[in-house]
Amino acid sequence: MNAFVQQNRGLLKFYCVGSQIIGWMLLAVSPVGTIIALSGDSSFNENALVILYILQAITLNPIILGLLVLGIAQFIRYVAETEYKPGWILRSGSTILYAAAFIVFLSCIMNYLFFSFFAFSINAGRFSMRVNLFTSFIPAAAKILILVGLGQILRRIMPVIEESKTLV
Please compute, for residue 126, the number of CA atoms within 13 A of its CA located in the half-sphere on the CB side.
Answer: 0
pLDDT digits (tens, 9 = 90+) for 89-123: 989 999 999 999 999 998 888 777 777 766 555 55
What is the C-alpha separation between 85 and 79, in angstroms, rounded? 10
Helix runs in 39-121, H state only: 48-54, 61-80, 88-91, 93-114
Predicted local confidence at residue 145, as pLDDT: 96
> In total, how many domains does the chain have?
1
Whether the CB-CB separation of 81 and 1 falls below 8 Å is answered with no
Whether the CB-CB separation of 33 and 58 falls below 8 Å is answered with yes
The pTM of the whole model exceeds 0.85: no
Q: Domain range holding 70? A: 2-167
pLDDT < 70: residue spans in the chain: 1, 40-49, 117-130, 132, 168
What is the C-alpha separation between 121 and 114, in angstroms, rounded? 10
Predicted local confidence at residue 98, as pLDDT: 95
Per DSSP, the three-state class of 80 is helix
